[in-house]
A and B are shown apart, each in its own frame.
Chain A
Amino acid sequence: MKSKLFHTLVLSGAFFLFVVLCSALFLLDRFEPVIAEDIIKNLPYSGVSHDVTAVLLNFRALDTLMEVGVIFLALMAIYTVKPHFRYKPLSFENTITNTFVALLFPLIVLCSFYILYGGSYQSGGAFAAAALLAGGIIVLRLVKPRYLSDLQELSLRFVYVSGLLFFILVGIWTLLSGSFLEYRGDIATFFIISIESVLTLSLAVILATYFINAVQRFK
């Protein structure tokens, strides 16, 4: 009884919200690209030739730094509930999965490099490459659980932080001679490529860790 009333209330509220939001958005005039003009003007000095990459890693680099911070924070948050899970591999050795992974994983690494370095002139960049590489690591871990299974906890934690730490160190370096995360021209290209490379590796490992924790064998 009460549930039906609640359902009706929510659904009618949702319909009302739909109408309100649609009308609010359709009342908008044509979008004026104020900032986009600034982006085009400053693009030659940013060190890359793709506008989205320039925004992410030069003009609004602080946002990207905070975003990496969020990913790392989510990892720490997962560590608070991690002791609940023990990792067990999901499969047993067989030829099909072994061959498939042997062919697939190098291909994934190659593709993620392409996406990473293509980010300077087309869509791509560190996050997409990290996501792909993380998928590859998860597949590898599922099929061949003994690879890298004797990694020390300390070195693993160091890999987690390396991306964020390197980004901050670049920022501190630029802080000494100007503003935090300020770079222009050729030095900008160098900084951006190095930050993205370290970030890809570290983020790939973090993203893989998010999900490998959940693997468990069901009897």
Chain B
Amino acid sequence: MMTNLLIPLLLITPLLFGIFGFVFPKKATALGIVFGATFLFLSLKLLYSVSENSIEAYYFGAFLPPLGITFEALPFGSLILAISSLILFIVFIYGAFFLNPKQSSLFYPLSSFLTLGFVIVYLSRDIFNIYVGLEIVGLSAIALTVLQKDLESIHSALVYFITTLVASGFYLLAVAILYAKYSVLDINALSLVIQNDFTTLVAFGFMIVAFLIKTAVFPFSFWLPKAHANALSPVSAILSALVIKTTFYLLYLFASSMFTFGINNYTILGYLGVGAVFYGGIKALLATELKMLIAYSTISQVGYLLLVFALDHPYAYYAMVFMLLSHAFAKAGMFLASGAIIHRAKSQNITKLQGYASITPLAVFAIGFSSISLIGLPPSLGFISKWYYLQSAFESSSWIFFITILGGGILSALYLFKILILFLQKPLQKIEEFEKKHDKNSSKIVQLCAFALSFLSVFLGFFSNLLIGFLG
């Protein structure tokens, strides 16, 4: 396959599969699985091409910037895209056994369009094109949240919707100001002509706020816990593991390539990260429902990602990337496993979930493995990420961040061990076995998917050197 066809194919594939999944709703699951596999293949090919340095920028319509739209595959972006495609594929398999046909008929087309949004956000070099990509991601995420269809879900989806639209508006305003000042929309062109003056700072301020809202950074995290907890479990996995990362990636991309006014100006983001780590951790400790706990844990982990802006050390970048990857796998595995457990228990209340290690052992095992990565125990990728962060904080003598990283780890250990110990105790009452064989089999496969993701978050720790080499 010629590498210069790869980028357009990455756009065409989600569109076509989404369209056909919608026109033939009964075949949606099959089309979804085929799409997952195809897209995984394409994004891995992209990753390989980037590592060989054999991929060039793609000019849509054969118009050079600033007139046309350019797509470029950089190491960081293509890595996240590949990871997203892998997680999506496993979640799709999970969905085939977890969702009923009516939910499936919309889940797979909507997820295909979500993937289209990912491709635009991670590869596009045009700031207005990125706005459209953000809208695609936002709309499909909301629609996926509403598949659950009860009152709580719709309410939390509406709160998420209004919030994300306001954030998109801020981003569009920033695009307007930048275009009015510099007359170009291309990121590479902008990074050459951008100046450090008041108007640009105002524009960038709006952009930062937009990304902070969409990434649910404390104090803009009010919309996340209910939205993620009330959705269907595969949707929660996609939201927490993948959708959150898109706007964080954009924040890092814009801060490091366009608005390079010195790392000191971004220290405030690091302090917001500190707030997020402790706020999320404490709220997770106090949570009474399983998925709310996992959602607050996401808020806490996102705080770690923000520390990269405050630590001016080469290791901080790798720490951030590893944290992003390990959290994606660990959180996705955790949500999928919780879906299996809650499906059996018919309740999200933690006190009712006592003893489930004997009923859904593989799911609890998955949560255990995810916890290893989230707390940061060796040899997981989460451990390596935290280790690099600690080293950066130590060598820059930033004691606040050092204590934050350690404190956050302790908090995660507290709330994760709490539920794990509860799972491992004796069950409250005698639980009847599954009657139908079909349910038993699908339950096994569902738990296997969850375990695969959680396992990867630990196993990838062995490949950290390979990843560092790739990122350069």
Docked-complex contact A27 and B5, CB < 8 angstroms: no
B369 vs chain A, min Cβ distance (A)? 33
**What residues of A have a CB within 8 angstroms of the CB of B142 in the complex?**
77
Given contacts A66-B120, A157-B22, A181-B60, contact A76 B67 (CB under 8 A): no
Q: Which of B23, B58, B67 contacts A157 (CB 8 A)?
A: B23
Complex Cα gap A161–B12 (Å): 14
Chain B contacts with A in 101-123, Cβ cutoff 8 A: 106, 109-110, 113, 116, 120
Judged by a CB distance under 8 angstroms, whether B192 is at the interface is no
A86 vs chain B, min Cβ distance (A)? 16
Q: Give A32's nearest chain B residue, CB to CB.
A: B183
**What residues of B have a CB within 8 angstroms of the CB of A58 in the complex?**
61
B212 vs chain A, min Cβ distance (A)? 16
Given contacts A76-B22, A76-B106, A175-B8, contact A62 B60 (CB under 8 A): yes
- The stretch of B126-134, B260-268, B395-403 in contact with A is B126-134
Judged by a CB distance under 8 angstroms, whether A187 is at the interface is no
**What residues of B have a CB within 8 angstroms of the CB of A168 in the complex?**
12, 15-16, 19
Chain B contacts with A in 160-202, Cβ cutoff 8 A: 177, 180-181, 183-185, 197-199, 202
**What residues of A have a CB within 8 angstroms of the CB of B11 in the complex?**
180
Complex Cα gap A80–B147 (Å): 6
Complex Cα gap A181–B154 (Å): 39
Chain B contacts with A in 140-170, Cβ cutoff 8 A: 140, 142-143, 146-147, 149, 154
**What residues of A have a CB within 8 angstroms of the CB of B183 in the complex?**
31-35
Docked-complex contact A179 and B59, CB < 8 angstroms: yes
A29 vs chain B, min Cβ distance (A)? 8
Q: How large is the interface on A (under 10, 10 to 19, 20 to 34, 35 or more residues)?
A: 35 or more
Complex Cα gap A208–B65 (Å): 37
**What residues of A have a CB within 8 angstroms of the CB of B75 in the complex?**
none
Judged by a CB distance under 8 angstroms, whether A18 is at the interface is no
Docked-complex contact A25 and B199, CB < 8 angstroms: yes
**What residues of B have a CB within 8 angstroms of the CB of A35 in the complex?**
66-67, 183-185
Docked-complex contact A38 and B67, CB < 8 angstroms: yes
**What residues of A have a CB within 8 angstroms of the CB of B62 in the complex?**
178-179, 182
Q: Give A34's nearest chain B residue, CB to CB.
A: B183
What does the 1/0 interface line of B51-65 toward A look like (CB < 8 Å)?
000000011111100
Docked-complex contact B128 and A24, CB < 8 angstroms: no
A140 vs chain B, min Cβ distance (A)? 25
Judged by a CB distance under 8 angstroms, whether B46 is at the interface is no
Judged by a CB distance under 8 angstroms, whether B378 is at the interface is no
Judged by a CB distance under 8 angstroms, whether B320 is at the interface is no
Docked-complex contact B15 and A70, CB < 8 angstroms: no
Judged by a CB distance under 8 angstroms, whether A211 is at the interface is no
Given contacts A62-B60, A81-B149, A180-B8, contact A73 B136 (CB under 8 A): yes
**What residues of A have a CB within 8 angstroms of the CB of B129 in the complex?**
62-63, 66
Chain B contacts with A in 398-426, Cβ cutoff 8 A: none
Q: Which of B63, B109, B177, B202 contacts A76 (CB 8 A)?
A: B109
Docked-complex contact B180 and A28, CB < 8 angstroms: yes
Judged by a CB distance under 8 angstroms, whether B72 is at the interface is no
Complex Cα gap A182–B203 (Å): 33
Docked-complex contact B139 and A73, CB < 8 angstroms: yes
B389 vs chain A, min Cβ distance (A)? 34
Judged by a CB distance under 8 angstroms, whether A145 is at the interface is no
Judged by a CB distance under 8 angstroms, whether A128 is at the interface is no
Q: Which of A62, A154, A161 contacts B69 (CB 8 A)?
A: A62
Number of interface residues of B (CB under 8 A): 51
Docked-complex contact A179 and B60, CB < 8 angstroms: yes
What does the 1/0 interface line of A32-58 toward B look like (CB < 8 Å)?
111100110010000000000000001
Judged by a CB distance under 8 angstroms, whether A60 is at the interface is yes
**What residues of B have a CB within 8 angstroms of the CB of A154 in the complex?**
23
Docked-complex contact A24 and B60, CB < 8 angstroms: no
Docked-complex contact A182 and B61, CB < 8 angstroms: yes
**What residues of B have a CB within 8 angstroms of the CB of A172 in the complex?**
12
Docked-complex contact B23 and A158, CB < 8 angstroms: yes
Docked-complex contact B136 and A69, CB < 8 angstroms: yes
Complex Cα gap A23–B273 (Å): 31
Docked-complex contact A59 and B116, CB < 8 angstroms: no
Docked-complex contact A73 and B61, CB < 8 angstroms: no
What does the 1/0 interface line of A150-179 toward B look like (CB < 8 Å)?
000010011011001100100110010011
Q: Which of B12, B67, B68, B132 contacts A67 (CB 8 A)?
A: B132
Judged by a CB distance under 8 angstroms, whether B312 is at the interface is no
Complex Cα gap A69–B114 (Å): 11
Complex Cα gap A58–B63 (Å): 9
Q: Give A167's nearest chain B residue, CB to CB.
A: B15
Docked-complex contact B60 and A39, CB < 8 angstroms: no
**What residues of B have a CB within 8 angstroms of the CB of A67 in the complex?**
132
B462 vs chain A, min Cβ distance (A)? 39
Judged by a CB distance under 8 angstroms, whether B289 is at the interface is no
What does the 1/0 interface line of A1-42 toward B look like (CB < 8 Å)?
000000000000000000011011101110111110011001
Docked-complex contact B180 and A24, CB < 8 angstroms: no
What does the 1/0 interface line of A57-96 toward B look like (CB < 8 Å)?
0111111001101101110110111000000000000000
A23 vs chain B, min Cβ distance (A)? 7
Chain B contacts with A in 10-28, Cβ cutoff 8 A: 11-12, 15-16, 18-19, 22-23
Docked-complex contact A60 and B69, CB < 8 angstroms: yes
Docked-complex contact B19 and A161, CB < 8 angstroms: yes
Docked-complex contact A31 and B15, CB < 8 angstroms: no
A82 vs chain B, min Cβ distance (A)? 10
A207 vs chain B, min Cβ distance (A)? 16
Docked-complex contact A66 and B23, CB < 8 angstroms: no
Docked-complex contact A42 and B67, CB < 8 angstroms: yes
Docked-complex contact A23 and B198, CB < 8 angstroms: yes
Docked-complex contact A27 and B61, CB < 8 angstroms: no
**What residues of A have a CB within 8 angstroms of the CB of B132 in the complex?**
63, 66-67, 70
**What residues of A have a CB within 8 angstroms of the CB of B199 in the complex?**
24-25, 27-28
Shortest Cβ-Cβ A-B pairs, 7 listed: A77-B143, A24-B202, A34-B183, A179-B62, A180-B8, A182-B62, A38-B67
In the assembled complex, 7 residue pairs joining A and B whose CB atoms fall closer than 8 Å, in A order, are A29-B181, A60-B61, A61-B61, A72-B19, A73-B110, A76-B22, A179-B59
